[in-house]
Structure 1
Amino acid sequence: MVHDHADHDEGLSHDLIAMAALASRRRALRWFAGAGTIAMLSACDGGSSGETLTTTPTPTSSVTPTPTPSATATPTPSATGCIADPTETNGPYPADGTNTSSGLTSNALTASNVVRSDIRSSFIGASTAVAGGVQVTLTLTVVNVNAACAPLAGYAVYIWHCNRDGKYSLYDLPNESYLRGVGVTDANGQVSFTTIFPGCYDGRWPHIHFEVFSSLANATSGRYAVLVSQLAMPSAVSSTVYNGASGYTTSISSFSRVSLNSDNVFSDNTSAQIAQQTPAMTGTITDGYTATAVIGIAR
């Protein structure tokens, strides 16, 4: 420590006293530092300027350990992670109140019994006909891609598709209303439908249309959908069904002339989008198929 009078020689006696005091002071500092205590020492010379010296102990570690994930944590719904599904056309046969056919506007969403899990039968008007075909149980999981794929509960999903002959109810078949229905997602963001494997018609890859609404109340009008898109049926299962199941004869030649690359809806999508839009399917023609797909929405 430098003091104002350090430049003046005051003799050997003074120097010995100063050296002894300095040695004593250094021993004290080592003792205090070893004890981990904040020490405040006064200057060694009497009549000094009263400066102080502070030692700071090494701080105690306060790192918070990484928590162990809960065993009940919701898994990522898709092996490749969820992405936002692309918006696709609802096509000419939505029956959601947004278009007309033969001068009439069809809106299946306003029917009191449109909320149903089994959509194979007609439910509007006098007909109760059931669409024939290979049974498919389809489970959709609606998730928020902006919240780590968190499930979206209470969302309404409207699906519709053609029959095994490639015809649409309420349009090609105006007296039928089958293969249309609405379901509401549960706490896991899931909704299930029982339907048939759709046929393939000229110019289109086999597909299922869907619209997603933030609530059942909003689903009563097709103008409030937060997403309009389509599912692409798996190629291998389509080939198996069309060539092995009865009633799909007209789909065989149509399917042979189309590909995902030539389809006017799916052809401009990325491989990741196509992967998410294609349901994972297991089963057989005899026992029916189980299908699952994730629907990603940016909320």
Structure 2
Amino acid sequence: MHDHDRGLIFDLQALERRRLLGLMAAGGGAMLLSACGGSDSGATSTTTTTTATTMGTTGTGTTGSTSCGTTPTETNGPYPADGSNMANGAPSNVLTTSGVVRSDIRGSFAGLSGTAAGVPVGLTVNLVNVNSACAALADYAIYLWHADANGQYSVYDLAQQNYLRGAQATNASGQATFTTIFPGCYAGRYPHIHFEVYRSLATATSYVNRVLVSQFALPAEACNAVYATSGYPSGAQRFAQTSTSGDNVFGDNTSAQIAAMTPALSGTPTAGYTGSVTVGLSV
């Protein structure tokens, strides 16, 4: 068995060994003694309410304030690869695949080759506890996935690719930053990014352990700019036929919820985009 076939637990053990070796090299033993698609289906759940805070956009508050709200639950759609369904006749779960824990999700991993083309995006997700004055939630895990520039999903539409999927733990500030591309627009859906939240990387091995599943809506201004470029075929035409109010996932959310679920992005299609969004959990 090769190292890349041993799964998430092996990855975590290897990361811990490398961390300890790094501490020994930096400060010796004393430091160790003093020191870790296609179209989505399903209706929006109404089990959670109010709004989440979006950094840099209008919302109910900002990270570090005492005002934030619970992010609404949404469907994981038909292409999650989180163990909840099948892909091409086989169970589909990238969460148990070695290499899924990463910040740059543009390339395929675990022996698959290929890199998703598209406008670069650096997205920071801020995870906060709405029951504790919006305190940062450290060491939780976020699994994020979305369509490529053509509106296709790896593992399902593209069986020989698993790019644009990745998980990582939040840092001490409750943040996880993903390097990815701007998702394409496909028929039947407003442009979006899927994500799931888990209590730790160790539990981020199956959808049954998730504490939240939801989606981010992409800013309309950035969508118009990106889909006008040659790398997103039919994007402009498809986007002109969509709206958050008419979307089968976002359509039953309030305008405040949509604002909170929309990342604040800055940049251009040429230079790429960076931005952030806040996710609120009731913990």
2:130 aligns to what?
145
Which residue of 65, 76, 80 maps to 1:94? 80
Q: Residues of 1 paired with 2:123 and 2:249: CA distance?
A: 21
TM-score by length of 2: 0.76
Report the counterpart of residue 280 of structure 2 in structure 1.
296
Which of residues 157, 167, 173 in structure 1 aligns to 2:158? 173
Aligned length: 223
Correspondence for 1:287: 271
CA contact (8 A) 1:82 1:294 kept: no
Q: Give the 3-state SS of the residue equivalent to 1:263 in structure 2.
A: coil
8 Å Cα contact 1:124/1:176 also seen in 2: no
CA RMSD of aligned residues (A): 1.5
Deviations 1:245-291 (A, max 9, x none): 22102211111111111100001001221111000000111111002
Task: Call closer, same or farther: CA 1:255–1:153 in 2, change over 3 Å.
Answer: same
**For the Cα contact (< 8 Å) 2:190–2:239, is it kept in 1?**
yes
1:187–1:211 CA distance, 2 compared to 1 (3 A): same
2:198 corresponding residue in structure 1? 213
Q: Which one-letter code corresponds to 1:223 in the other structure?
A: V
5+ residue gaps, structure 2, are 1-60
Measured in 1, the distance between the counterparts of 2:128 and 2:78 equals 27
Give structure 1 regions of 4+ aligned residues with deviation exceeding 6 angstroms: none
Q: Which residue of 2 aligns with 1:77?
A: 63
**Deviations for 1:187-215, whole angstroms, at most 9, x for unmatched residues?**
10000000000000001000000000011
CA offsets per residue over residues 39-84 of structure 1, 9 Å max, x none? Answer: xxxxxxxxxxxxxxxxxxxxxxxxxxxxxxxxxxxx9318994211
Equivalent AA in structure 1 for residue 161 of structure 2: E
- Identify the residue that residue 246 of structure 2 maps to in structure 1: 262
- Residue 143 of structure 1 contacts residue 152 of structure 1 at CA under 8 Å; is this kept in 2? yes
> Is 2:139–2:172's contact at 8 Å kept on the other side of the alignment?
yes
CA distance in 1: counterparts of 2:62 and 2:194, whole angstroms: 24
Identity %: 57
Note if contact 2:64-2:134 (Cα within 8 Å) is conserved in structure 1. Answer: no
Alignment-mate amino acid for residue 272 of structure 2: G
Is the Cα–Cα contact under 8 Å of residues 64 and 133 in structure 2 kept in the other structure?
no
How does 1:188-207 map onto structure 2 within 5 Å? 188-207=173-192
1:287–1:84: structure 2 CA closer, same or farther, 3 Å change rule? same
Partner of 1:223: 208
CA distance in 2, matches of 1:189, 1:172: 33
1:275 to 259, 265, 268: 259
Tell me which of 201, 208, 227 is aligned to 1:242. 227
Counterpart-to-counterpart distance in 2, 1:79 and 1:293: 15
Change in Cα spacing, 1:248 to 1:80, as seen in structure 2 (3 Å) is farther
Q: In structure 1, what is the Cα distance between the partners aligned to 2:234 and 2:68?
A: 35
2:96 to 70, 95, 110: 110
Amino acid at match of 1:114: V
1:115-143 per-position Cα deviation (integer Å, ceiling 9, x unaligned): 00000000134x32110000000000000
Are the counterparts in 2 of residues 83 and 273 from structure 1 also a CA contact under 8 Å?
no
Task: State the one-letter code of the partner of 1:250.
Answer: S
Is it true that 1:135 corresponds to 2:120 in the alignment?
yes
Given residue 278 of structure 2, which amino acid in structure 1 is its aligned partner?
A: V
Distance 1:80 1:234, change over 3 A: farther
For 2:125 and 2:178, how far apart are their aligned partners in 1? 9
Alignment check: 8 A CA contact 2:66 2:133 kept: no
Q: Following the alignment from structure 1 to structure 2, what is the Cα–Cα distance between the partners of residues 97 and 156? A: 16
Aligned counterparts of 1:123 and 1:272: Cα–Cα separation in 2? 37
Other-structure match for 1:163: 148
Q: Which runs of 5+ in 1 are unaligned?
A: 1-74
Instruction: Say which structure, 1 or 2, has more relative contact order (CA 8 Å, 6+ apart).
Output: 2
CA displacement, residues 1-33 of structure 1 (integer Å, 9 cap, x when unaligned): xxxxxxxxxxxxxxxxxxxxxxxxxxxxxxxxx
Is the contact made by 2:145 and 2:164 (CA closer than 8 Å) also made in structure 1? yes
